[in-house]
Amino acid sequence: MSPPADGARWATLTPTAAAVHQAWPALAGHWYIAATGRELRRRPLARTVLGLPLALFRSAGGRPAALLDRCPHRNVALAGGRLARGCLACPYHGWQFDAAGACRTLPGLPEGAPSAQAARATPAFATLEQQGFVWVYLGDDAPSSGPPAIAHLSERGYTSFSGAAGLLTAALPDALENFLDGLHTHFVHAGLIRREGHRREVTVTVRRTAGGAAAEYPEAPSGFIARLFGGGLDRAVGAFRLPCVAALDYWAGPRLKLGLTLHFTPVDAAHVRLFAVGVAPAPALGGRLGEPLLVALMRLALRQDAAILAAQAANLARFGGPRYAYTPLDVLRPHIQRLLRHGPSAEGLPAEQRVAMRL
Ligand code: FES
Ligand SMILES: [Fe+2]
């Protein structure tokens, strides 16, 4: 087995980052969505990604920047500071840092006084605004490429929505599994996604993909949301992609009806921040009833998932951690678990399998 990508000197910066890196080593060396472009305005924003506290701010020209959220002077959080001519000024003694983390201004220091520049710098992380999201790269070296493009978002011929979708109290594998699992939908989303009285036997095909795994369900969900698609829905594909992406694509024959993608940004071992993207061929998502209704119903489904995940996390805490039973119906969980740990070359998983279930 090839060793997991390391590239994780950043993980030595806090105990939480070290714990996250130890649990899921394959998460190092990737881009993560830290915020939407709209969330990052004129004030700095505190965000934690993979256990690493970051101060996000808009530097010269409005470009986003991410610094370790700790002033090198007396270690106050920089995100509590303010913007000053493209720099971020610490709220305590006003040291000002540029996008690269260099201290540009030290109020009170006489001109020409000797200074140790390096000791006054704070770590900075590669940051890029793309497709309405602010991405941060957590790896030791400069990233070899930019964040992955989100397919069809704002593309001609497609209609789309995207944005922040809240904070989940859940461990990362539990959150990813939840979004891609069909068998909770009859209960957590009863009527909305599936209905208990309308199960049919289907054969689900589970495949390894490049950097992930996907499960194909040859059916239209029996709940209300599927009816908004206006008929013809015959296939849904749920896919996990490293580092932390879960996508659900609904198809009618060869035509994509709706692609719903959740980008999960791990905050720490017990919390995940969600960013959602929905795309569909134009003119409208959700057929004649329209996009606003579909978006409202999806928000409702996300709230239902957030509630059951929080309840799961609370009970895990009562018992001191998970002791899970597995069945063949847990089609993607083993893939998610191994890929998070070992990366795209994870071994011990079948390339393809078929699983019968009553969905
Ligand atoms: S603690 Fe930041 S300038 Fe003193
Ligand atoms: Fe769900």
* 151 within a domain of the structure (yes/no): no
- Inform me whether the pLDDT recorded for 345 exceeds 60: yes
* 343 within a domain of the structure (yes/no): yes
Amino acid at 24: W
Quote the pLDDT of residue 115. 73
**Total domain count for the chain?**
2
Ligand 1, pocket-test mutation among 71, 78, 88, 122, most atoms within 8 A of CB:
71
130 and 241 inside one domain: no
Q: For position 134, which CATH number holds?
A: 2.102.10.10
Give the SS3 label for residue 130.
strand
| Among 135, 127, 66, 131, CA closest to 273 | 135
Quote the pLDDT of residue 289. 57
Q: Which residues contact 112 (CB under 8 A, 6 or more apart)?
A: none
48 and 98 inside one domain: yes
Length of the chain: 359
* Stretch among 199-213, 226-240, 257-271, 330-344 having the lowest mean pLDDT: 226-240
pLDDT band at 260 (very low <50, low <70, confident <90, very high): very high
* Stretch among 2-6, 127-131, 259-263, 355-359 having the lowest mean pLDDT: 2-6
What would the two tokens of residue 251 be? 């198809």
- Which atom of ligand 1 sits closest to the CA of residue 75? 1
212 and 91 inside one domain: no
| Among 168, 179, 162, CA closest to 215 | 179
Q: Which residue has the higher pLDDT, 294 or 333?
A: 333
Ligand 1, pocket-test mutation among 95, 96, 104, 106, most atoms within 8 A of CB:
95
Ligand 1, pocket-test mutation among 68, 76, 78, 103, most atoms within 8 A of CB:
76
- Inform me whether the pLDDT recorded for 228 exceeds 90: no
* 307 within a domain of the structure (yes/no): yes
- Percent of the chain clearing pLDDT 90 (strictly above): 77
Q: What is the pTM of this model?
A: 0.94
Structure confidence by residue, pLDDT tens digits, 154-183: 888 888 889 999 999 999 999 999 999 999
Query: Residue 105 to residues 87, 108, 154: CA-CA distances in angstroms?
Result: 9, 9, 40
* 132 within a domain of the structure (yes/no): yes
- Inform me whether the pLDDT recorded for 1 exceeds 50: no
Give alpha helix (H) positions in the chain: 15-23, 172-180, 185-188, 224-227, 291-319, 333-342
pLDDT band at 288 (very low <50, low <70, confident <90, very high): low
Protein residue with its CA nearest to atom 3 in ligand 1:
93
For the Cβ of 329 lying below 6 angstroms from any atom of ligand 1, the answer is no
27 and 88 inside one domain: yes
Quote the pLDDT of residue 155. 86
What would the two tokens of residue 265 be? 């940004």
Mean of pLDDT values over 204-214: 96
- Inform me whether the pLDDT recorded for 290 exceeds 80: no
What would the two tokens of residue 176 be? 């990813």
163 and 312 inside one domain: yes
- Inform me whether the pLDDT recorded for 226 exceeds 60: yes
Q: Which residues contact 75 (CB under 8 A, 6 or more apart)?
A: none
Distance CA 210, CA 336 (A): 13
Distance CA 137, CA 142 (A): 8
Q: Which residue has the higher pLDDT, 135 or 232?
A: 135
Structure confidence by residue, pLDDT tens digits, 48-71: 999 999 999 999 999 999 999 999
Ligand 1, pocket-test mutation among 67, 69, 90, most atoms within 8 A of CB:
90
- Percent of the chain clearing pLDDT 70 (strictly above): 96
- Exposure class string for 210-226: b at 16+ Cβ within 10 A, else e: ebbbbbbbebbbbbebb
- What is the DSSP secondary-structure string of 261-317? EEEEEEEETTEEEEEEEEEEESS-TTGGG-HHHHHHHHHHHHHHHHHHHHHHHHHHH
The neighbourhood of ligand 2, an ion, using CB within 5 A, equals 305
Quote the pLDDT of residue 6. 63
Ligand 1 center to 229 CA (angstroms): 55
Quote the pLDDT of residue 317. 97
For the Cβ of 79 lying below 6 angstroms from any atom of ligand 1, the answer is no
* 152 within a domain of the structure (yes/no): no
Q: Which residues contact 10 (CB under 8 A, 6 or more apart)?
A: 17, 28, 50, 52, 123, 125, 138, 139, 140
Mean of pLDDT values over 131-147: 94
171 and 316 inside one domain: yes
Burial (Cβ within 10 Å: 0-12, 13-18, ≥19) of residue 76: middle
123 and 167 inside one domain: no
- Inform me whether the pLDDT recorded for 222 exceeds 90: no
Pick the ligand that lies closest to the CA of residue 187.
Answer: 2
Quote the pLDDT of residue 4. 37
What would the two tokens of residue 28 be? 């190092």
221 and 122 inside one domain: no
204 and 71 inside one domain: no
Quote the pLDDT of residue 285. 59
For the Cβ of 93 lying below 6 angstroms from any atom of ligand 1, the answer is yes
Q: For position 329, which CATH number holds?
A: 3.90.380.10
318 and 199 inside one domain: yes
| Among 93, 104, 96, CA closest to 44 | 96
* 145 within a domain of the structure (yes/no): no
* Domain limits for position 232: 158-358
Distance CA 317, CA 319 (A): 5
For the Cβ of 71 lying below 6 angstroms from any atom of ligand 1, the answer is yes
* 153 within a domain of the structure (yes/no): no
* 277 within a domain of the structure (yes/no): yes
Ligand 1 center to 111 CA (angstroms): 19
pLDDT band at 339 (very low <50, low <70, confident <90, very high): very high
Quote the pLDDT of residue 169. 98
Protein residue with its CA nearest to atom 4 in ligand 1:
93
| Among 285, 253, 303, CA closest to 153 | 285
Mean of pLDDT values over 196-225: 93
131 and 181 inside one domain: no
Protein residue with its CA nearest to atom 1 in ligand 1:
74
325 and 225 inside one domain: yes
Mean of pLDDT values over 234-253: 95
